[in-house]
Structure 1
Amino acid sequence: MNIGEIARRAGVSRSTVSYALTGNRPVSDATRQRIQAVIDELDYRPNAAARALKEGRTRTLGLVIPPASRRLTDMQLGFVATVVEAAAGADFDVLLSPSGGDHDRSFERIVTGRRVDGVILMEIRLEDDRVSRLQRSGLPFVTIGRTRDAADMWSVDIDYTVLVSRCVHHLADLGHRHIALINRSAELVAAGYGPGHRALAGFTEAIAERGVAGLDVCCDDDAPAGEACIERLRAGHPEITALVTVNEAALPGIQRGLERAGLHVPRDFSVAGVAARHWAEDFRPPMTAADVPTHDMGAQAVNLLLEQLTTPTAHPRHLLHTPPISLRASTGPAPRPGI
C-alpha cells in the first residue's frame, strides 16, 4: 500500500495524506482520523509516519545548535551526542537545526512546521529571542543553559558563578595574589552568552572577597587563541601567577603558551577551571577543575522534555549542577618573589 492507495480509499488527495503523515501542514482531526482508519483497515505495517499519525506526534525532538559556520566545541559536541543517545533510548529521533546568523528560517521551520514534538535549545543568552519565540509558540522546550530570568522555563545548566568563585578561592588559599580569568570569546560575551557573564560575575565577586588582584580577558574558542592569550598576559601582566578558565577549547594553546614562556606548572604558574573531565585530564599536568557532567546534562534535558510531553501541566523544573572541584596537579602554592 502506498500514499496513492491510502488517498483513494480515504477520499482525499495524495498531498493531504502526505501532510497528515509528515505534519508539514495542518490537517483537520476528522481527516486525520479517516486516513488512520484506512491504514488500520488494511492492516498497514506500522512505521514511524503511521505511528505519528495515530499518536498525533512525530516522535522527533528538535535540537537547536550553533550555526555550522562556527565550529562546535568539544563540550557542545558532547551535548549533541548525549541528547541523540538519550532520545534514541526513548524511541525518539533527533532533528538538528542551526540557529543564529543566516539560519533564522531553519529555526522558524522547527517552531512552526510541526516537524518535532519539542525542542532542546543550546547556547543560551541572558536575553534570548529564540526562547521568547518558543514561549509564544507553545511548543514544549528545554534549554541547556538559562536566560536571565528562567523562572518559567525548563532548564539544565552549570552554576558557573559558584564554580569560578570556588576556583578563585582555591587559588587564593594557595597564596596567589594576582589571578586572571580566561573567558569565552569577546563576540559571545558581547552577545550576552550566559556562561561567560556568570563566570565573570563569580570571578569578580571572589576577587573582591579575597582582596586579590584580578584581570579578566576574552579568548576565542581554539588553541592558537589560547596561546596568544598567554603571550599577552605574560607581556602585559607578568605579576599574574594563576588563571581560571571556562574556555576548554583554548586549553591546548594555554598549555603551549606557558611552556613557551618557560613556566613550570604548578611550580611557577597555576591553572584551574571548569571543563569536561577529559579536557582537564589531558592537560599537562592534569588540571584542577570542576568537571562538567556533559553526559548527565544531555540525558536530563531529554528527560525533562519527555516529562513535558507526557504531563503538559507539570511545573517547570531547573537542574543546576555544581560539581565539586577535582584537585589535580595543575595548582600549587604561589611562587615566592625572586624565586
Structure 2
Amino acid sequence: MNIGEIARRAGVSRSTVSYALSGKRTVSEATRRRIQDVIDELDYRPNAAARALAEGRTRTIGLVIPPATARLTHMQLDFVASVVEAAARSDLDVLLSPSGGDHERSFERLLSGRRVDGVILMEIRVKDARVDRLLREDLPFVGIGHTAGDHRMSWIDVDYTTLIARCVHHLADLGHRAVALINRSPELVAAGYGPGLRAAEGFAAAVAERGIAGFEYACGDDTAAGRAVVRRIHAEHPEVTAAVTLNEAALPGIQQALEDAGVRVPGGFSITGVAAQRWAEDFRPPLTAADVPAQQMGAQAVELLVERIAAPDAPPRHILLTPPVSLRASTAPAPSLAESTQARVSGSGGSTAPNGR
C-alpha cells in the first residue's frame, strides 16, 4: 500500500495525502479525516524511511544510464522497469538521465540543479568518474554494479566472476576441453565495464584451474555481432566445442550463426552463461544460464537509495548476488574428436547439473 492508493481511495491528490501526513501544509479537517479513515481502514503504517522522504525536497530520484550502445538491451530495460515500479510503490517519481560522451551535460544538470533527492547508477565501470562526481556533490546514490575497491558507496551487483567460472566448470565436467568466452563489446571492455572485466577474470581462473583451453572474444551488443563472433571462433579455433557468454543481446545472432553452419546445440556445440531469464528461455534450445534477477535488483536498489536519503550518514551497504545456474537444454557432453564433425550436423540433447563450485 502506498500514498498513491490512499489518494485514489480518498478521492484526493497524492500531494494532499503527503501534506496531511507530513503537516507541511494545511489540509481541511474534512479532507484530513477522509484520508485518515482510509489509512485506518488499510492499516497503513509508513516506515521511518518513507516518513523521511515525505519531508524531502522533490520526491524524485534519478536513474542514470550511460548510452553504452545505440539502444538498451532487454536486461537494461528490465532494470529500468523494476526501478520505476519499485519507486512507484514508494510514491516516488523517476527522472531518467543518460551520461557519458555527448550526454555529460544531462548528468551535470541532474546534479547541479538538485532536481532529485538521490540517484541510482547503472552500468558502472571499475573506475567510474560519475561515482567520484556524486561523492563530491554529497548527493545520496546507489549503484547497480560497483567500482573496484570503493567502499564509500552502496551497491547491489551480480557476482559475474563466480558465475562465469561456474559455467566453465560445468562445461569442463561435461568433457569440453576448449571453450570460448563471448564478452561484451570491445568499447565497453576497454572502458573498464565491471561485468565484462569480472567475467574475464572468472573465465581465465576457471580454464586455468581445469587445465583446458580458453579463448576470449569481445562482441558487440547486437545480432550481427553475435553472428560474426561465432564465425570467428569457428575459423580461428575449430577445436572449440562450447562457449560461455554474458552478452544477451548477441544471443539471437549466435543462434543464427550456429544454425547457418549446420551446428546443432547442444550435440555439436554447447553454450551457457549469464543472462536475463527471458533471453535464456527464448534461446533455442533454452539456455543453461545463471538468470540475472533484474526485478529483484532494481527493487533493492530503490530500497537502498531510500535508506541513504533517510540516513545519509549510515554505513554503505553492499549486496552481491550469486543466483544458481539454471539447467536447461543448451549444454551436453562434448563430442569426441572422431565424432565431432558428425555431431555438429546431427546433434543430440541432454545435460547434467553444474557442480557447486
Q: Pick the TM interval, shorter chain.
A: 0.7 to 0.9
Partner of 1:107: 107
Q: Which residue of 1 aligns with 2:352?
A: none
Matched, 1:313 2:313: yes
Deviations 1:230-273 (A, max 9, x none): 01111111100000000000001000111111111111110000
Deviation track 1:298-319 (CA, whole Å, cap 9, x = no partner) reads 0000000001112223211111
Residue 103 of structure 1 aligns to a residue whose secondary structure is: helix
Hey, what's the Cα distance between the residues in 2 that align with 1:104 and 1:171?
42
| Structure 2, gaps ≥5 residues long | 1-22, 33-50, 340-357
Contact 2:243 2:270 survives alignment (8 Å): yes
Q: TM-score, normalised by structure 2?
A: 0.80
- Tell me by how many angstroms 1:114 deviates: 1.2
Residue 201 of structure 1 corresponds to which residue in structure 2? 201
What residue is the counterpart of 2:300 in the other structure? Answer: 300
Match of 1:124 in 2: 124
Secondary structure at the counterpart of residue 330 of structure 2: coil
Determine the structure 2 residue equivalent to 1:282: 282
Deviation at 1:40, TM superposition (A): 4.1
8 A Cα contact 1:52 1:59, kept in partner: no
What SS is found at the alignment partner of 2:304? helix
The correspondence of residues 215-254 of structure 1 with structure 2, limited to 5 A, is 215-254=215-254
The CA distance in 1 between the partners of 2:213 and 2:338, in whole Å, is: 19
In the comparison of the two structures, how many residue pairs are matched? Answer: 299
1:54 positional shift:
8.6
Gaps in structure 1 of 5+ consecutive residues: 1-35
Matching of residue 63 in structure 1 with residue 63 in structure 2: yes
Structure 1 segments (4+ residues) deviating >6 Å = 51-54
How far apart in 2 are the matches of 1:311 and 1:147?
A: 22
Structure 2 distance, partners of 1:238, 1:63, is 43
Q: Counterpart of 1:216 in 2: which secondary structure?
A: strand
Q: What is the TM-score when the length of structure 1 is the normalising length?
A: 0.84
Shift of 1:41: 9.5
CA contact under 8 A between 2:52 and 2:310: conserved in structure 1? no
Distance 1:278 1:249 in 2: 11
Correspondence for 2:291: 291
Cα distance in structure 2, aligned partners of 1:55 and 1:131: 26
Give me the whole-angstrom Cα distance separating, in 2, the residues matched to 1:197 and 1:54: 40
Q: Is the CA contact 1:120–1:142 (under 8 Å) kept in the aligned structure 2?
A: yes
Letter aligned with residue 262 of structure 1: G
The percentage of counterpart residues that share the same residue type is 66
